[in-house]
Amino acid sequence: MDPHAYMEANRRQWEVWTPLKAGSVFYDLDGFRRGGVRIRDLERTEVGNVAGRSLLHLQSHVGIDTLSWARLGARATGVDFSHEGVTLARALAAELELPASFIESNVYDLPAVLDETFDIVYTSHGVLGWLPDLRRWTEVVSHFLAPGGLFYVFESHPTAWIFDNKVTEAVLRPRYAYFERAEPLCFEYESPCAVPEAMVTSVEYGWGHGLGDIVCALVEAGLRIEFLHEWPFVAWRMFPFLELAADGWWHLPAELPSVPLSFSLRAVKPTR
């Protein structure tokens, strides 16, 4: 099957999921309306001061992170392929009077609909697995970065994705291949992780990308890596046995060996 057909199936699934997630306690949109930002301190530190800078958020979902960057002073633009997600994000931006705009587009198609460059391109938390073509993605990132611009990604670690996420006992059981493959993996869920009570049966398709593939694709697109950090925690309950710590991150139980669950990477586009 053409990768675009898999991506279209995922998009249709997100149109179903998004209203459910938007109304969940996990997303807490009412709390966001009252103020504050949802960008974690670690990300804010690694990205740096965004005040007065233009920022493009790829795969922005319902716009909470995009609007958080706007609250921190950025001129923010969010992009997502879900009509439901973009509609909600635009409504929130208008309601909260924040300097953010939103575009409904597949990431790969974005150069055809947006003619602008940005100081910062940002993406995070569960985004790379939806992308069948990693090198085309890095070309898009480079295309939208102004010379001297900054790219930042915080994402679940490719190593973590080899383990079975269906087991309930505290065990790391390898199940999936680490290296890239053309055909996506197929996952069946009874409900979105943010809304476990919804009981909406769904099928999604995802592509694995090794850490070396990610780094090399960015370098081949002309970016210079400033740092790559690996972390023993993740932003959501990736496995049923993860434990929420006082730092707000999900960690493995102490009896399990430490493995990387997420990584952060910052790169810059040279000025010449």
Q: What is the pLDDT tens value at each position of the chain, 272 positions in all?
A: 688 999 999 999 889 888 888 888 788 999 999 999 999 999 999 999 999 999 999 999 999 999 999 999 999 999 999 999 999 999 999 999 999 999 999 999 999 999 999 999 999 999 999 999 999 999 999 999 999 999 999 999 999 999 998 888 999 999 999 998 888 988 887 655 555 555 567 788 999 999 999 999 999 999 999 999 999 999 999 999 999 999 999 999 999 999 999 999 999 999 98
- Residue whose tokens read 């960057």: 69
- 154-to-5, 132, 158, 192 alpha-carbon distances in Å: 27, 18, 12, 21
Compute the distance between CA of residue 174 and CA of residue 159 in angstroms, rounded to an integer: 10
Q: What is the pTM of this model?
A: 0.94
- Of 69, 28, 13, give the one whose Cα is nearest residue 194: 28
List of domains in the chain: 3-268 (3.40.50.150)
Phi-psi region of 222 (alpha: psi -120 to 50; beta: other; left: phi over 0): left
